[in-house]
Amino acid sequence: MQVVATGVELRELLMEYGGVAGRRVLVPTMGALHHGHLELVKRAREAAGPAGSVVVSIFVNPIQFDRSDDLEAYPRPMASDLEQCRAAGVDVVFAPDAGAMYFSDRSVTVSESLLSRGLCGAARPGHFDGVCTVVLKLFLLSGCHAAVFGEKDFQQLAVIRRMVRDLDVPVEILACPTVRESDGLAMSSRNARLTDKQRADAPRIHRALTDAMKLGGVADILAAARAGIEASPLARIDYLELVDAETLQPVTTLTRPAVLAAAVFYGDVRLIDHVAVK
């Protein structure tokens, strides 16, 4: 496994991994890798095939954070991340710093204006501009044929798919189901920042969403989910919405597939989760 820190180094190294002949699959991450990330790597290896290569990027992207304290607190266990990548059979790790990714006077940003309006986009202004910008840069730097994303960040996945569609980006977007802990909590790098009490309580998010989706009407679903989450004094809802699964716009009736989505704060740690409502 090779580790590089600049775009020039990445392009030069990738010429050794099949040039344009091999299928190259990218797994964009912000590090602090866990089993969920390794499932993305596994999917990437399957998609790359025996002649292809898997590239994992590890970059805590500053322009997608809306709070400086959240950026500073984000875990960065690089040694552990590299060891996990090596054990998973990753070919190349791209681990730049901010100076290698962005010019000090950068003036171009990629924006999506519909799917990113609500949910995390409304709660975190500018977040998806940062996501789209860094993901497109990673596509261009890696020259990947495909990229793998987790369904846990379902709004991010939808926004990236829309960016690829609207800008004719020649990258196939592959999705992996949400990976959960044994108690139902969606795996996230942020989970490591929870206190013991918060960690024990956090699975209530998924339980509340899952129980609520068994009900019939939109108002009943939202009320039940809110009650289930707010039953804990540790949990503070950032948003709780029922949206169309394709457009991500709020729904008032369940005539099409929908998604019940929530973002919940435990202290200053923000967790997201969702369930499908058919």
Catalytic residues: 37
Strand (E) positions, the chain?
Answer: 2-4, 24-29, 53-58, 92-94, 146-150, 172-176, 235-244, 258-266, 269-277
Between CA 272 and CA 140 the distance in angstroms is: 29
What distance in Å separates the CA atoms of residue 38 and residue 179, rounded to the nearest whole number?
Answer: 10
What gap in Å lies between CA 133 and CA 231, rounded to an integer? 38
Pairing of strands 258-266, 235-244: antiparallel
Looking at residue 36, its amino acid is G
Cβ-Cβ contacts under 8 Å for 36 (sequence gap 6 or more): 150, 152, 176, 178, 179, 186, 187, 188
Q: Rg of the chain over CA atoms, in angstroms?
A: 19
